[in-house]
Chain A
Amino acid sequence: MALESTLNKEMIINVGPQHPSTHGVLRLVMTLEGEIIKDTKPVIGYLHRGLEKLAESRNYFQYLPMVDRVDYLSSFFCSAAFCYAVESIAGLKVPKRAEYIRLITMEFNRITSHLMWLTAFLLDLGATTPMFYAFREREDIVKLFEELTGQRMMYNFYTFGGVKKDLPEGWMTKAVDLCKSMPKMFDEYEAIITKNPIFMERTKGVGVLTQKMAADYAITGANIRGSGIDFDLRKTNPYSVYDEIDFKTHLAENGDSYDRYMVRIAEMRESVKIIEQALKQIPGGTPERLKVKSVNCGCKKEDCEFCGFDVQLVGKKLNAAVFKPPVGEVISMIEAPRGVITCYVVSDGTNKPYRVKWRTPSFSSVQLLPELIKGKNYSDLMPIFGSLDVVLPEVDR
Protein backbone atom coordinates (compact mmCIF):
# COMPACT_ATOMS: atom_id res chain seq x y z
CA MET A 1 0.00 0.00 0.00
CA ALA A 2 2.68 2.44 1.09
CA LEU A 3 4.81 1.55 -1.92
CA GLU A 4 2.01 2.11 -4.41
CA SER A 5 1.07 5.49 -3.02
CA THR A 6 4.65 6.72 -3.35
CA LEU A 7 4.98 5.35 -6.90
CA ASN A 8 1.96 7.26 -8.16
CA LYS A 9 3.02 10.52 -6.55
CA GLU A 10 4.90 13.25 -8.33
CA MET A 11 8.47 13.61 -7.19
CA ILE A 12 10.62 16.72 -7.14
CA ILE A 13 14.26 16.22 -8.00
CA ASN A 14 17.15 18.68 -8.00
CA VAL A 15 19.55 18.21 -10.87
CA GLY A 16 22.66 20.16 -10.05
CA PRO A 17 23.87 22.82 -9.23
CA GLN A 18 27.01 20.67 -9.44
CA HIS A 19 25.94 17.92 -11.78
CA PRO A 20 28.62 16.05 -13.73
CA SER A 21 26.91 16.61 -17.05
CA THR A 22 26.07 20.28 -16.77
CA HIS A 23 29.16 22.16 -17.91
CA GLY A 24 29.01 25.07 -15.57
CA VAL A 25 26.70 25.44 -12.62
CA LEU A 26 23.01 25.11 -13.41
CA ARG A 27 20.23 23.85 -11.16
CA LEU A 28 17.16 22.20 -12.65
CA VAL A 29 14.18 21.69 -10.37
CA MET A 30 12.34 18.80 -11.99
CA THR A 31 8.94 17.34 -11.28
CA LEU A 32 8.98 13.67 -12.23
CA GLU A 33 6.25 11.10 -12.42
CA GLY A 34 8.13 7.86 -12.50
CA GLU A 35 10.58 8.37 -15.36
CA ILE A 36 8.50 11.00 -17.16
CA ILE A 37 9.45 14.66 -16.78
CA LYS A 38 6.37 16.73 -15.99
CA ASP A 39 7.89 20.12 -15.35
CA THR A 40 11.32 21.76 -15.24
CA LYS A 41 12.47 25.03 -13.76
CA PRO A 42 15.99 26.13 -14.56
CA VAL A 43 17.57 28.14 -11.74
CA ILE A 44 20.37 30.30 -13.07
CA GLY A 45 22.67 32.86 -11.49
CA TYR A 46 25.29 30.69 -9.82
CA LEU A 47 28.02 32.10 -12.07
CA HIS A 48 26.90 35.72 -11.99
CA ARG A 49 29.94 38.00 -11.91
CA GLY A 50 28.27 41.31 -12.68
CA LEU A 51 30.12 41.91 -15.92
CA GLU A 52 27.65 44.59 -17.00
CA LYS A 53 27.95 46.55 -13.75
CA LEU A 54 31.75 46.23 -13.67
CA ALA A 55 31.94 48.19 -16.93
CA GLU A 56 30.48 51.28 -15.31
CA SER A 57 33.38 51.67 -12.87
CA ARG A 58 36.21 50.97 -15.31
CA ASN A 59 37.51 52.74 -18.37
CA TYR A 60 37.27 51.16 -21.81
CA PHE A 61 40.77 49.66 -21.71
CA GLN A 62 40.35 48.31 -18.20
CA TYR A 63 37.12 46.58 -19.23
CA LEU A 64 38.66 44.97 -22.33
CA PRO A 65 40.25 41.92 -20.58
CA MET A 66 37.01 41.24 -18.70
CA VAL A 67 35.02 40.90 -21.91
CA ASP A 68 36.87 37.62 -22.60
CA ARG A 69 35.22 36.15 -19.50
CA VAL A 70 31.67 36.54 -20.83
CA ASP A 71 32.08 33.26 -22.66
CA TYR A 72 35.38 31.60 -21.95
CA LEU A 73 35.11 29.02 -24.74
CA SER A 74 34.81 31.66 -27.47
CA SER A 75 36.64 34.66 -26.05
CA PHE A 76 37.48 36.21 -29.41
CA PHE A 77 33.81 36.67 -30.30
CA CYS A 78 32.93 38.63 -27.17
CA SER A 79 36.02 40.80 -27.62
CA ALA A 80 35.06 41.41 -31.23
CA ALA A 81 31.48 42.37 -30.33
CA PHE A 82 32.67 44.91 -27.76
CA CYS A 83 35.43 46.27 -30.02
CA TYR A 84 33.07 46.74 -33.00
CA ALA A 85 30.62 48.58 -30.75
CA VAL A 86 33.22 50.96 -29.34
CA GLU A 87 34.79 51.47 -32.76
CA SER A 88 31.53 52.54 -34.29
CA ILE A 89 30.83 55.00 -31.43
CA ALA A 90 34.32 56.48 -31.60
CA GLY A 91 34.42 56.37 -35.42
CA LEU A 92 37.62 54.35 -35.63
CA LYS A 93 38.56 52.66 -38.90
CA VAL A 94 40.04 49.17 -38.76
CA PRO A 95 42.78 48.25 -41.27
CA LYS A 96 42.10 45.31 -43.57
CA ARG A 97 45.02 43.26 -42.28
CA ALA A 98 43.73 43.55 -38.73
CA GLU A 99 40.25 42.53 -39.92
CA TYR A 100 41.70 39.44 -41.61
CA ILE A 101 43.66 38.49 -38.48
CA ARG A 102 40.42 38.89 -36.51
CA LEU A 103 38.55 36.71 -38.98
CA ILE A 104 41.18 33.93 -38.92
CA THR A 105 41.33 33.86 -35.12
CA MET A 106 37.54 33.97 -34.82
CA GLU A 107 37.06 31.04 -37.16
CA PHE A 108 39.74 29.01 -35.36
CA ASN A 109 37.94 29.89 -32.14
CA ARG A 110 34.67 28.63 -33.62
CA ILE A 111 36.32 25.26 -34.28
CA THR A 112 37.70 24.99 -30.72
CA SER A 113 34.33 25.91 -29.30
CA HIS A 114 32.50 23.33 -31.40
CA LEU A 115 35.10 20.68 -30.52
CA MET A 116 34.58 21.45 -26.84
CA TRP A 117 30.84 21.11 -27.38
CA LEU A 118 31.36 17.78 -29.15
CA THR A 119 33.36 16.34 -26.25
CA ALA A 120 30.88 17.53 -23.65
CA PHE A 121 27.86 16.31 -25.62
CA LEU A 122 29.31 12.86 -26.21
CA LEU A 123 30.51 12.54 -22.62
CA ASP A 124 26.92 13.24 -21.55
CA LEU A 125 25.82 10.40 -23.80
CA GLY A 126 28.47 8.11 -22.34
CA ALA A 127 31.05 8.05 -25.14
CA THR A 128 34.55 8.72 -23.79
CA THR A 129 36.77 8.10 -26.82
CA PRO A 130 35.80 11.10 -29.00
CA MET A 131 36.78 13.41 -26.15
CA PHE A 132 40.44 12.45 -26.47
CA TYR A 133 40.40 12.87 -30.24
CA ALA A 134 38.69 16.25 -30.12
CA PHE A 135 41.04 17.54 -27.43
CA ARG A 136 43.99 16.53 -29.61
CA GLU A 137 42.89 18.95 -32.35
CA ARG A 138 41.83 21.58 -29.86
CA GLU A 139 45.32 21.46 -28.38
CA ASP A 140 46.85 22.18 -31.81
CA ILE A 141 44.67 25.25 -32.29
CA VAL A 142 45.14 26.44 -28.72
CA LYS A 143 48.91 26.21 -29.22
CA LEU A 144 48.57 28.50 -32.24
CA PHE A 145 46.61 30.95 -30.09
CA GLU A 146 49.26 30.73 -27.38
CA GLU A 147 51.97 31.60 -29.87
CA LEU A 148 49.96 34.51 -31.26
CA THR A 149 48.43 36.05 -28.14
CA GLY A 150 50.44 34.68 -25.23
CA GLN A 151 47.54 32.98 -23.48
CA ARG A 152 45.60 29.79 -24.05
CA MET A 153 42.11 30.90 -23.11
CA MET A 154 41.73 34.57 -22.12
CA TYR A 155 43.40 36.14 -25.10
CA ASN A 156 42.88 39.91 -24.64
CA PHE A 157 44.18 40.27 -28.20
CA TYR A 158 41.79 42.66 -29.92
CA THR A 159 41.96 46.35 -29.22
CA PHE A 160 39.94 49.34 -30.39
CA GLY A 161 40.94 49.89 -34.00
CA GLY A 162 42.62 46.57 -34.73
CA VAL A 163 44.66 43.86 -33.04
CA LYS A 164 47.52 44.17 -30.58
CA LYS A 165 50.25 42.21 -32.37
CA ASP A 166 51.06 40.91 -35.82
CA LEU A 167 51.22 37.20 -36.60
CA PRO A 168 54.53 35.74 -35.41
CA GLU A 169 57.01 34.32 -37.93
CA GLY A 170 56.07 30.88 -39.18
CA TRP A 171 52.54 31.11 -37.77
CA MET A 172 50.85 31.15 -41.16
CA THR A 173 52.67 28.02 -42.35
CA LYS A 174 51.58 26.21 -39.21
CA ALA A 175 48.00 27.38 -39.71
CA VAL A 176 47.96 26.20 -43.35
CA ASP A 177 49.34 22.79 -42.34
CA LEU A 178 46.71 22.49 -39.61
CA CYS A 179 43.93 23.39 -42.08
CA LYS A 180 45.16 20.63 -44.39
CA SER A 181 45.18 17.97 -41.68
CA MET A 182 41.95 18.95 -39.96
CA PRO A 183 39.33 17.57 -42.40
CA LYS A 184 40.91 14.11 -41.99
CA MET A 185 40.39 14.41 -38.25
CA PHE A 186 36.74 15.38 -38.74
CA ASP A 187 36.38 12.25 -40.90
CA GLU A 188 37.63 10.27 -37.92
CA TYR A 189 34.96 11.66 -35.61
CA GLU A 190 32.31 11.00 -38.20
CA ALA A 191 33.50 7.42 -38.63
CA ILE A 192 33.08 6.84 -34.91
CA ILE A 193 29.98 8.90 -34.20
CA THR A 194 27.74 9.82 -37.13
CA LYS A 195 26.39 6.43 -38.14
CA ASN A 196 26.83 4.74 -34.77
CA PRO A 197 23.51 2.94 -34.06
CA ILE A 198 23.55 3.74 -30.33
CA PHE A 199 24.15 7.44 -30.99
CA MET A 200 21.46 7.56 -33.67
CA GLU A 201 18.96 5.78 -31.44
CA ARG A 202 19.49 8.29 -28.64
CA THR A 203 19.46 11.50 -30.71
CA LYS A 204 17.26 10.97 -33.81
CA GLY A 205 13.79 12.37 -33.33
CA VAL A 206 14.65 13.51 -29.81
CA GLY A 207 14.16 17.12 -28.76
CA VAL A 208 12.53 18.31 -31.97
CA LEU A 209 12.73 22.10 -32.22
CA THR A 210 10.08 23.34 -34.64
CA GLN A 211 10.66 26.48 -36.71
CA LYS A 212 7.90 28.37 -34.91
CA MET A 213 9.22 27.49 -31.47
CA ALA A 214 12.75 28.48 -32.47
CA ALA A 215 11.56 31.84 -33.74
CA ASP A 216 9.36 32.43 -30.67
CA TYR A 217 12.19 31.82 -28.24
CA ALA A 218 14.71 33.88 -30.27
CA ILE A 219 17.06 30.95 -30.74
CA THR A 220 20.05 31.75 -32.94
CA GLY A 221 23.14 30.09 -34.29
CA ALA A 222 23.53 26.40 -35.08
CA ASN A 223 20.37 25.53 -33.14
CA ILE A 224 18.11 27.50 -35.48
CA ARG A 225 19.97 26.30 -38.58
CA GLY A 226 19.35 22.75 -37.39
CA SER A 227 15.63 23.52 -37.67
CA GLY A 228 15.99 24.72 -41.24
CA ILE A 229 15.86 28.50 -40.82
CA ASP A 230 18.63 30.12 -42.81
CA PHE A 231 19.83 32.77 -40.38
CA ASP A 232 23.54 33.47 -40.31
CA LEU A 233 24.81 36.98 -39.62
CA ARG A 234 27.97 36.26 -41.56
CA LYS A 235 25.78 35.99 -44.67
CA THR A 236 22.83 38.23 -43.98
CA ASN A 237 24.65 41.13 -42.34
CA PRO A 238 28.38 40.71 -43.01
CA TYR A 239 30.57 42.34 -40.37
CA SER A 240 34.40 42.16 -40.58
CA VAL A 241 35.45 40.98 -44.08
CA TYR A 242 33.02 38.10 -44.48
CA ASP A 243 31.64 39.65 -47.68
CA GLU A 244 34.99 39.04 -49.40
CA ILE A 245 34.94 35.35 -48.57
CA ASP A 246 33.05 32.61 -50.33
CA PHE A 247 31.31 30.19 -48.01
CA LYS A 248 27.92 28.64 -47.47
CA THR A 249 25.72 28.02 -44.46
CA HIS A 250 24.58 24.53 -43.61
CA LEU A 251 20.99 23.69 -42.83
CA ALA A 252 19.18 20.60 -41.61
CA GLU A 253 15.48 19.78 -41.77
CA ASN A 254 14.13 18.02 -38.72
CA GLY A 255 15.48 20.12 -35.87
CA ASP A 256 16.27 17.20 -33.58
CA SER A 257 19.47 16.63 -31.58
CA TYR A 258 21.03 14.67 -34.42
CA ASP A 259 20.50 17.53 -36.88
CA ARG A 260 22.10 20.02 -34.53
CA TYR A 261 25.10 17.69 -34.35
CA MET A 262 25.27 17.45 -38.15
CA VAL A 263 25.09 21.24 -38.57
CA ARG A 264 27.93 21.82 -36.15
CA ILE A 265 30.17 19.23 -37.82
CA ALA A 266 29.45 20.84 -41.21
CA GLU A 267 30.19 24.28 -39.76
CA MET A 268 33.59 23.16 -38.54
CA ARG A 269 34.46 21.95 -42.06
CA GLU A 270 33.25 25.26 -43.49
CA SER A 271 35.35 27.20 -40.98
CA VAL A 272 38.46 25.40 -42.19
CA LYS A 273 37.65 26.51 -45.74
CA ILE A 274 37.12 30.12 -44.59
CA ILE A 275 40.49 30.13 -42.81
CA GLU A 276 42.25 28.72 -45.90
CA GLN A 277 40.78 31.49 -48.06
CA ALA A 278 41.58 34.20 -45.53
CA LEU A 279 45.19 33.04 -45.21
CA LYS A 280 45.53 33.38 -48.99
CA GLN A 281 43.79 36.76 -49.22
CA ILE A 282 45.33 38.54 -46.21
CA PRO A 283 46.77 41.92 -47.30
CA GLY A 284 50.56 41.99 -47.06
CA GLY A 285 50.93 38.20 -46.94
CA THR A 286 53.32 36.64 -44.44
CA PRO A 287 54.82 38.96 -41.79
CA GLU A 288 58.38 38.22 -42.95
CA ARG A 289 57.59 39.25 -46.53
CA LEU A 290 55.65 42.31 -45.39
CA LYS A 291 58.52 43.51 -43.21
CA VAL A 292 61.05 43.31 -46.07
CA LYS A 293 58.70 44.90 -48.59
CA SER A 294 57.68 47.80 -46.36
CA VAL A 295 61.33 48.60 -45.54
CA ASN A 296 62.20 48.54 -49.26
CA CYS A 297 59.16 50.59 -50.28
CA GLY A 298 59.01 53.22 -47.54
CA CYS A 299 56.70 55.57 -49.48
CA LYS A 300 54.27 55.97 -46.50
CA LYS A 301 51.30 56.59 -48.82
CA GLU A 302 47.76 55.77 -47.69
CA ASP A 303 46.97 53.36 -50.54
CA CYS A 304 50.36 51.65 -50.82
CA GLU A 305 50.28 47.86 -50.92
CA PHE A 306 53.14 47.41 -48.45
CA CYS A 307 53.16 50.41 -46.13
CA GLY A 308 49.66 51.88 -46.44
CA PHE A 309 46.71 51.88 -44.08
CA ASP A 310 45.38 48.44 -44.99
CA VAL A 311 48.48 46.51 -43.91
CA GLN A 312 48.74 48.19 -40.52
CA LEU A 313 47.58 46.50 -37.34
CA VAL A 314 45.99 49.37 -35.44
CA GLY A 315 44.33 52.21 -37.32
CA LYS A 316 44.99 54.89 -34.72
CA LYS A 317 47.06 54.55 -31.56
CA LEU A 318 44.95 55.42 -28.53
CA ASN A 319 46.01 56.65 -25.13
CA ALA A 320 44.22 54.52 -22.56
CA ALA A 321 43.86 57.29 -19.98
CA VAL A 322 42.32 59.91 -22.24
CA PHE A 323 40.30 57.77 -24.69
CA LYS A 324 36.83 59.32 -24.58
CA PRO A 325 34.32 58.30 -27.27
CA PRO A 326 31.66 60.91 -28.08
CA VAL A 327 28.14 60.71 -26.65
CA GLY A 328 26.11 58.00 -28.34
CA GLU A 329 24.76 54.48 -28.21
CA VAL A 330 25.36 51.55 -30.51
CA ILE A 331 24.55 47.88 -30.92
CA SER A 332 26.94 45.40 -32.50
CA MET A 333 26.05 41.84 -33.41
CA ILE A 334 28.41 38.93 -33.95
CA GLU A 335 27.67 35.39 -35.10
CA ALA A 336 29.30 33.44 -32.26
CA PRO A 337 29.47 29.61 -32.16
CA ARG A 338 26.37 29.50 -29.96
CA GLY A 339 24.38 32.16 -31.76
CA VAL A 340 24.18 35.91 -32.04
CA ILE A 341 26.06 37.85 -29.36
CA THR A 342 24.79 41.38 -29.06
CA CYS A 343 26.69 44.10 -27.27
CA TYR A 344 24.97 47.40 -26.48
CA VAL A 345 27.20 50.26 -25.38
CA VAL A 346 26.07 53.71 -24.24
CA SER A 347 28.72 56.39 -23.99
CA ASP A 348 28.22 59.65 -22.09
CA GLY A 349 31.43 61.25 -23.30
CA THR A 350 33.63 60.25 -20.36
CA ASN A 351 36.35 57.60 -20.35
CA LYS A 352 34.00 55.04 -18.79
CA PRO A 353 31.03 53.45 -20.56
CA TYR A 354 27.69 54.60 -19.18
CA ARG A 355 26.08 51.22 -19.77
CA VAL A 356 27.10 47.92 -21.35
CA LYS A 357 24.47 45.30 -22.04
CA TRP A 358 25.15 41.77 -23.27
CA ARG A 359 22.55 39.66 -25.01
CA THR A 360 23.89 36.13 -25.15
CA PRO A 361 22.47 33.20 -27.13
CA SER A 362 22.75 30.57 -24.38
CA PHE A 363 20.29 32.50 -22.24
CA SER A 364 17.56 31.86 -24.83
CA SER A 365 18.57 28.21 -25.16
CA VAL A 366 18.15 27.60 -21.42
CA GLN A 367 14.61 29.00 -21.57
CA LEU A 368 13.84 26.58 -24.36
CA LEU A 369 14.86 23.53 -22.31
CA PRO A 370 11.62 23.09 -20.25
CA GLU A 371 9.54 23.13 -23.46
CA LEU A 372 11.70 20.56 -25.19
CA ILE A 373 11.88 17.98 -22.41
CA LYS A 374 8.26 18.15 -21.26
CA GLY A 375 6.78 14.68 -21.25
CA LYS A 376 10.05 12.96 -22.19
CA ASN A 377 11.98 10.32 -20.31
CA TYR A 378 14.59 11.43 -17.82
CA SER A 379 17.25 9.74 -19.94
CA ASP A 380 16.41 12.14 -22.80
CA LEU A 381 17.49 15.14 -20.70
CA MET A 382 21.15 14.94 -21.60
CA PRO A 383 20.82 14.31 -25.37
CA ILE A 384 18.57 17.41 -25.55
CA PHE A 385 20.36 19.70 -23.12
CA GLY A 386 23.79 18.78 -24.47
CA SER A 387 22.80 19.39 -28.08
CA LEU A 388 21.68 22.97 -27.30
CA ASP A 389 25.32 23.90 -26.51
CA VAL A 390 24.67 25.96 -23.41
CA VAL A 391 27.64 27.53 -21.67
CA LEU A 392 26.63 28.71 -18.23
CA PRO A 393 28.99 31.68 -17.68
CA GLU A 394 27.46 33.15 -20.80
CA VAL A 395 23.94 32.74 -19.38
CA ASP A 396 24.73 34.46 -16.10
CA ARG A 397 27.39 36.95 -17.21
Chain B
Amino acid sequence: MKKIVNKTVSGIIEIARGMFTILKHAFRPAITLEYPEKKPILSSRIRGKLALTTNQEGNLNCVGCMSCTKVCPCGDLIQIESSKDENNKPVVNKFTIDIGRCIFCGNCTQACPKDALIMTDEYELADYSRESLVFDKDKLMLSPEESANWRDKKERDS
Protein backbone atom coordinates (compact mmCIF):
# COMPACT_ATOMS: atom_id res chain seq x y z
CA MET B 1 0.00 0.00 0.00
CA LYS B 2 2.76 2.40 1.01
CA LYS B 3 4.65 1.46 -2.17
CA ILE B 4 1.69 2.32 -4.39
CA VAL B 5 1.25 5.70 -2.69
CA ASN B 6 4.97 6.45 -3.09
CA LYS B 7 4.86 5.47 -6.75
CA THR B 8 1.82 7.66 -7.42
CA VAL B 9 3.30 10.67 -5.64
CA SER B 10 6.66 10.40 -7.41
CA GLY B 11 4.88 9.88 -10.72
CA ILE B 12 2.84 13.04 -10.27
CA ILE B 13 5.98 14.99 -9.31
CA GLU B 14 7.91 13.73 -12.33
CA ILE B 15 5.08 14.47 -14.76
CA ALA B 16 4.78 17.97 -13.24
CA ARG B 17 8.53 18.47 -13.75
CA GLY B 18 8.23 17.42 -17.38
CA MET B 19 5.23 19.68 -17.93
CA PHE B 20 7.10 22.61 -16.37
CA THR B 21 10.00 22.04 -18.79
CA ILE B 22 7.60 22.01 -21.70
CA LEU B 23 5.83 25.14 -20.45
CA LYS B 24 9.12 27.07 -20.38
CA HIS B 25 9.35 26.67 -24.13
CA ALA B 26 6.19 28.72 -24.63
CA PHE B 27 8.12 31.86 -23.75
CA ARG B 28 11.12 31.23 -26.01
CA PRO B 29 11.40 32.76 -29.49
CA ALA B 30 10.46 30.55 -32.44
CA ILE B 31 13.33 28.74 -34.16
CA THR B 32 11.55 27.69 -37.34
CA LEU B 33 11.74 29.45 -40.70
CA GLU B 34 8.69 29.90 -42.92
CA TYR B 35 10.42 28.46 -45.92
CA PRO B 36 8.96 29.59 -49.23
CA GLU B 37 8.66 33.20 -48.03
CA LYS B 38 11.95 33.33 -46.13
CA LYS B 39 14.98 31.47 -47.40
CA PRO B 40 17.86 30.17 -45.31
CA ILE B 41 21.31 31.75 -45.59
CA LEU B 42 23.54 29.15 -47.18
CA SER B 43 27.26 28.73 -46.72
CA SER B 44 29.64 29.26 -49.64
CA ARG B 45 30.44 25.54 -49.81
CA ILE B 46 26.89 24.45 -50.55
CA ARG B 47 26.64 21.81 -53.27
CA GLY B 48 23.73 22.76 -55.53
CA LYS B 49 23.03 22.74 -59.26
CA LEU B 50 26.04 22.24 -61.54
CA ALA B 51 27.05 25.07 -63.85
CA LEU B 52 29.75 25.93 -66.38
CA THR B 53 31.82 29.08 -65.93
CA THR B 54 32.79 31.38 -68.78
CA ASN B 55 35.65 33.77 -69.36
CA GLN B 56 35.27 37.51 -70.04
CA GLU B 57 34.51 37.01 -73.74
CA GLY B 58 31.69 34.64 -72.90
CA ASN B 59 33.46 31.44 -73.99
CA LEU B 60 33.50 28.29 -71.90
CA ASN B 61 36.47 27.64 -69.62
CA CYS B 62 36.04 23.91 -70.22
CA VAL B 63 38.74 22.28 -72.35
CA GLY B 64 37.07 18.88 -72.67
CA CYS B 65 39.68 16.96 -70.65
CA MET B 66 37.04 14.45 -69.41
CA SER B 67 38.41 14.49 -65.83
CA CYS B 68 34.88 14.95 -64.46
CA THR B 69 33.51 11.89 -66.25
CA LYS B 70 36.24 9.70 -64.76
CA VAL B 71 35.24 10.40 -61.15
CA CYS B 72 31.47 10.62 -61.59
CA PRO B 73 29.82 7.75 -59.68
CA CYS B 74 26.79 7.75 -61.98
CA GLY B 75 28.55 6.45 -65.09
CA ASP B 76 27.44 8.31 -68.23
CA LEU B 77 25.79 11.24 -66.48
CA ILE B 78 28.14 13.87 -67.94
CA GLN B 79 28.50 13.72 -71.73
CA ILE B 80 31.11 15.84 -73.48
CA GLU B 81 31.92 16.14 -77.18
CA SER B 82 34.86 18.32 -78.12
CA SER B 83 36.94 19.09 -81.20
CA LYS B 84 39.91 21.28 -82.11
CA ASP B 85 39.64 24.55 -84.04
CA GLU B 86 42.13 25.89 -86.64
CA ASN B 87 44.48 27.27 -83.91
CA ASN B 88 44.59 23.79 -82.32
CA LYS B 89 42.59 25.02 -79.35
CA PRO B 90 39.95 22.69 -77.85
CA VAL B 91 36.31 23.63 -78.39
CA VAL B 92 33.49 21.95 -76.50
CA ASN B 93 30.58 21.35 -78.82
CA LYS B 94 28.27 19.43 -76.53
CA PHE B 95 28.09 19.30 -72.73
CA THR B 96 25.07 17.54 -71.27
CA ILE B 97 24.34 16.75 -67.62
CA ASP B 98 21.32 14.76 -66.50
CA ILE B 99 20.60 16.63 -63.26
CA GLY B 100 17.78 14.22 -62.44
CA ARG B 101 20.34 11.45 -61.89
CA CYS B 102 23.04 13.62 -60.25
CA ILE B 103 23.70 12.84 -56.58
CA PHE B 104 25.49 16.16 -55.90
CA CYS B 105 28.60 14.50 -54.51
CA GLY B 106 30.94 17.22 -55.81
CA ASN B 107 33.56 14.83 -57.19
CA CYS B 108 33.47 16.40 -60.67
CA THR B 109 34.00 19.96 -59.45
CA GLN B 110 37.00 18.86 -57.40
CA ALA B 111 38.52 17.00 -60.33
CA CYS B 112 38.12 19.96 -62.71
CA PRO B 113 41.58 21.47 -63.34
CA LYS B 114 40.30 24.78 -64.81
CA ASP B 115 37.41 25.53 -62.36
CA ALA B 116 35.16 25.27 -65.40
CA LEU B 117 32.54 23.04 -63.78
CA ILE B 118 31.22 24.44 -60.50
CA MET B 119 28.39 23.97 -58.06
CA THR B 120 26.05 26.91 -57.49
CA ASP B 121 23.80 27.47 -54.47
CA GLU B 122 20.64 26.77 -56.46
CA TYR B 123 18.69 23.89 -54.95
CA GLU B 124 15.06 24.23 -56.06
CA LEU B 125 15.28 21.95 -59.07
CA ALA B 126 11.94 20.13 -59.07
CA ASP B 127 10.23 19.87 -62.43
CA TYR B 128 7.33 18.08 -64.12
CA SER B 129 9.22 15.80 -66.49
CA ARG B 130 12.51 13.94 -66.60
CA GLU B 131 13.39 15.27 -70.03
CA SER B 132 13.43 18.85 -68.79
CA LEU B 133 16.03 17.89 -66.17
CA VAL B 134 18.59 17.00 -68.84
CA PHE B 135 20.56 20.25 -69.02
CA ASP B 136 22.53 21.09 -72.15
CA LYS B 137 25.40 23.55 -72.62
CA ASP B 138 23.22 26.67 -72.94
CA LYS B 139 21.25 25.86 -69.80
CA LEU B 140 24.38 25.16 -67.74
CA MET B 141 26.39 28.19 -68.89
CA LEU B 142 26.76 31.13 -66.53
CA SER B 143 27.16 34.70 -67.75
CA PRO B 144 30.68 36.26 -67.45
CA GLU B 145 29.51 38.43 -64.52
CA GLU B 146 28.15 35.46 -62.60
CA SER B 147 31.38 33.55 -63.19
CA ALA B 148 33.42 36.49 -61.88
CA ASN B 149 31.16 36.68 -58.81
CA TRP B 150 31.67 33.00 -58.15
CA ARG B 151 35.45 33.32 -58.49
CA ASP B 152 35.46 36.16 -55.90
CA LYS B 153 33.38 34.06 -53.55
CA LYS B 154 35.75 31.12 -53.85
CA GLU B 155 38.79 33.29 -53.14
CA ARG B 156 37.15 34.60 -49.98
CA ASP B 157 36.39 31.06 -48.83
CA SER B 158 39.81 29.52 -49.30
Contact = CB atoms under 8 A, between A and B. Distances in A.
A165 B44 CA distance: 13
A359 to B, nearest CB: 23
A147 B45 contact: yes
Contacts of B134: none
Contacts of A147: 43, 45
A345 B135 CA distance: 36
B126 interface: no
Interface string B109-149: 01100000001000000000000000000000000000000
Q: For this complex, into which size category does the number of interface residues on chain A fall?
A: 20 to 34
Nearest to A57: B75
A173 interface: no
Contact of B47 (A64, A151, A196, A321): A151
A108 B54 CA distance: 39
A166 to B, nearest CB: 9
A164 interface: yes
B155 to A, nearest CB: 13
Given A136-B31, A196-B14, A150 B106 contact: yes
A129 interface: yes
Nearest to A157: B106
B106 A156 contact: yes
A265 to B, nearest CB: 15
A146 B46 contact: yes
Contacts of A65: 73, 103, 105, 107
Interface stretch (A187-195, A231-239, A253-261): A187-195
A195 B107 contact: no
B104 interface: yes
Interface string B84-110: 000000000000000000011111001
A168 interface: yes
Interface residues of B, number: 30
A165 B45 contact: yes
Contact of B111 (A151, A197, A320): A320
B81 to A, nearest CB: 20
A154 B105 contact: yes
Contacts, number: 78
B15 interface: yes
Nearest to A351: B70
A148 B45 CA distance: 7
Contact of B45 (A150, A320, A321): A150
A191 B45 contact: no
Interface string A40-77: 00000000000000000011011111100000000000
A193 B17 CA distance: 10
A150 B15 contact: no
Contacts of A58: 73
B72 A168 contact: no
A191 B107 contact: no
Contact of B73 (A62, A148, A196): A62
A113 interface: no
B104 A151 contact: yes
Given A197-B7, A197-B11, A191 B46 contact: no
A192 B110 contact: no
Contacts of B45: 146-150, 165, 168
B18 A192 contact: yes
B110 A164 contact: yes
Contacts of B105: 64-65, 154, 156
B5 interface: no
Given A62-B73, A63-B73, A64-B107, 9 more contacts: A62-B72, A136-B31, A151-B46, A151-B104, A164-B110, A168-B44, A188-B21, A191-B21, A320-B67
14 contacts: A59-B71, A146-B42, A146-B43, A147-B45, A148-B45, A150-B45, A151-B46, A151-B104, A156-B105, A168-B157, A197-B7, A320-B107, A320-B111, A321-B67
